[in-house]
Chain A
Amino acid sequence: MTPPVPRQLAELLNAPHAAARNGAWDAFMGEYSKLLLRTAQRASSSRDDAMDRYIFILEQLQEDDFRRLRAFTADGRGKFTTWLVVVARRLCVDHHRSKYGRPQAGHEPTGANSVAHAARRNLLDLIANEIDVDGLEDEGSLHPDAELLSAERRQTLTAAVAELGLGDQLLLTLRFEDDISVEKIAPMIGLQSRFQVHRRLRHVLEQLRRKLIDRGMTES
């Protein structure tokens, strides 16, 4: 079912004349200014910066007869507050870029490299922490070149992770690469509570452990 357009938004977009529009904007701000301000604050390092971004968000939302806000009705799915936070956050990013420029290409890993990078950086830590990979031993454990062995393990782990379902890969990324708490992850992957995230994580890690053993690693 298509969620209804919030009353304050509908009144704003349908205001017949300038006076009505001003009143509707005030009502809209009465409802959503706190959310917009919080979004600006979270994207900023100082109070002045936050206020700059907040003002920028308001200007951009009003631009071209509320063009951005009118876009919400184009799809109609999802909650308006969720949509508004994403729009406001992206305006904060635009504001930052207009002030400081875009980051140089190559600073952020992208695409498949990102996955591999993340895997190299975090997933071995994850395994070590969660299923005690240090306690796992394979045929190469006596190999003098520990670095090579470590690289092989990482490769094995990356391959094992790639076999997981998308949702489980995302869960691992959110938890171990982005370091997001299980409580916050729950709604991001459609689970209702932190308990469910914990259970899902345990299940995924157990799967990974089995996959590693299948690939020749054995528990010591």
Chain B
Amino acid sequence: MNDNGQQLSDPMVFTETGHLTPEMIAAYLGQEVSGEERQAVQQHLLTCKECRVDLAEASELGAVGRRVRWLAVGLPAAAAAVLAVVLLGPATRDATDDTPVLRGEQAEGTARFKAVSPVDGAEVSLDSLVFRWRSEGTGVHYLLTLTDENGDVFWTAGTSDTSLALPLEVGLATGQRYFWYVDALLEGARSSTTGVREILIQP
């Protein structure tokens, strides 16, 4: 039994002290766990604040590594992700179904639409920085997110338009790299994204 009174039956899931193993947290975040393991992990997380903090930190900081690696790998990885969605097929979700349908959520989240400008990797001037993207139809709400190199959100703004100018008060540092992406909230509880684009602010 662990500190929380739970039965510990699987050493791959729990450490000797009754917490989730780092491997299991990494596998859970990477969605590489079986249904049974996912249940065991979530059951434990409900009652273990310490593991929830581990999970939050790993999710956030681990994502920095993942994001940088994704950007470094570039198109092949993105293409592989899209291909995976195509191979897995579109998934639908019953709004009344209360069990998480992760494959469907992933597939729906990976849908893409085109970011127009600035182009990926562009050097841009602060006084003319306007983000533009293709329309995903009428009545669509867009959310633009700008992050720094560590993946920390620097600025975010919503609009129904297909462009947003960077407000003057958002102080980007010259010579620094930033990353931006737009999420579109579509009808029928679907969403799509432009994927991450990189910009370099001109000195």
Point out residues on A near B: beta carbons under 8 Å. 3, 35, 38-39, 42, 71-72, 74-75, 77-87, 89-90, 93, 108, 110-112, 114-115, 164-170, 173-174, 178, 180, 183-184, 187-196, 199-200, 203-204, 207
Contacts and interface: CB of A to CB of B under 8 A. Distances in A.
Interface of B: 3-6, 12, 19, 21-33, 39, 42-43, 45-47, 49-50, 52-66, 69, 95, 98-100, 102, 105-106, 108-110, 143, 150, 153, 183, 185, 189, 191, 193
A170 B62 contact: no
Q: Is the interface of A mostly helix, strand, loop or mixed?
A: helix
A23 B23 CA distance: 27
A121 to B, nearest CB: 13
Contact of A77 (B23, B46, B60): B23
B203 to A, nearest CB: 23
Those 10 A-B pairs whose CB atoms lie nearest each other, nearest first: A192-B109, A78-B26, A81-B65, A82-B62, A75-B23, A77-B27, A86-B22, A82-B26, A83-B26, A78-B27
Contact of A184 (B26, B56, B62, B99): B56
17 contacts: A77-B32, A78-B26, A79-B65, A79-B66, A82-B62, A86-B25, A89-B57, A164-B98, A168-B100, A174-B52, A178-B49, A188-B56, A190-B106, A192-B193, A193-B183, A193-B191, A199-B189
A204 B98 CA distance: 8
A150 B189 CA distance: 35
A64 to B, nearest CB: 17
A77 B199 CA distance: 33
